A = this chain, B = another copy of it.
């Protein structure tokens, strides 16, 4: 993980947040299609950005985005986790169909991040729990049971521990192993503490330099790798400045609801644009070492739970023979 160098902007890794932000000003956004549903504590949002106009309105690339929001996911509820894995598998299968990825397309799963930094270990943990099958197709193709496709999985490490840009390593592996599709798992820096470990985004736009918090300047995209790249991102950390900035909003709204007074609420803060305010918060916090990336105390358990959900969901979505009802059994 590394700090997002352009972090003074308000932009977000989540299309959902960008859509909500844009929609506040303009209810219907040309070039942006939204749908979704909520069921038993799991909220699924589908956003398709179909034109450059939509892309500019949201500040996100054209493409397809799915977001799962599960506020209760931090409450160590294994039934809920199983249900999330099932929904994830169903949505991921639909996503593959929407992208016209064939059933027998070979898949390379890339787990970005660092084993030894817990909030950044999501990708490597998902890789560890993938049901890999590519070697059977290569070595004993006639013995592979029906219902499986060739799946491989690699955790390439991070720039700080390998000395090589992750994009270079992945490109080398893609050149050699020639998958039809790359799925990249990554931990993200959140724009909100409440999203940390509760939100999963699936997108077909790949992974771009500077977005997210990994060392991946090169990017993993159809342009660099030559095959489609689906990114799965989960916010696992948040800047202290983000927490503070969000809190100003919450406090402001709280006072506004409580007082008739529409004048001075937070004094000099009221005069600032959100960007200015965030920048100011950063300037004030930084000298004291206060603007760290932070993560919930229970991160070890959260990361393990979400890695199991994503790996179980992917295994079920990628292999027809792996039953959606029983996804959890395929991981430990």
Question: A residues bordering B, Cβ < 8 Å?
Answer: 1, 71, 74, 78, 115-120, 127-128, 132-135, 138, 150-157, 159-165, 168-169, 171-177, 193-194, 196, 198, 237-238, 240, 243-244, 246-247, 250-251, 254-255, 259, 264-270, 280-281, 284-285, 288-290, 292-301, 304, 329, 332
The 9 closest A-B pairs by CB, nearest first: A172-B172, A134-B163, A152-B163, A267-B267, A132-B163, A172-B176, A294-B294, A244-B247, A293-B297
The contact of A268 among B118, B154, B255, B292, by CB within 8 Å, is B255
Interface SS, A side? helix
B120 touches A297 (CB 8 A): yes
Task: Give me 26 A-to-B residue pairs in the complex whose CB atoms sit less than 8 angstroms apart, sorted by A's number.
Answer: A116-B128, A116-B301, A117-B297, A117-B300, A132-B163, A153-B161, A153-B162, A154-B162, A168-B176, A169-B177, A171-B172, A171-B176, A172-B176, A175-B175, A237-B297, A240-B247, A243-B244, A243-B294, A247-B247, A247-B284, A251-B280, A255-B267, A265-B267, A265-B268, A266-B269, A293-B296
Q: How far is the CB of A261 from chain B (nearest CB, A)?
A: 8
Taken together as a complex, chains A and B put the C-alpha atoms of A289 and B194 apart, in Å, by 6
A159 touches B171 (CB 8 A): no
Residue in chain B with minimal CB distance to A82: B329
Taken together as a complex, chains A and B put the C-alpha atoms of A267 and B261 apart, in Å, by 11
A296 touches B290 (CB 8 A): no
Taken together as a complex, chains A and B put the C-alpha atoms of A237 and B135 apart, in Å, by 25
A175 touches B172 (CB 8 A): yes
User: Do A163 and B176 contact each other (CB < 8 Å), given the known contacts A116-B128, A254-B284, A292-B193?
Assistant: no
Question: Within 8 Å CB of A157, what residues of B?
Answer: 154-155
Question: Within 8 Å CB of A164, what residues of B?
Answer: 134-135, 152, 154, 173, 176-177
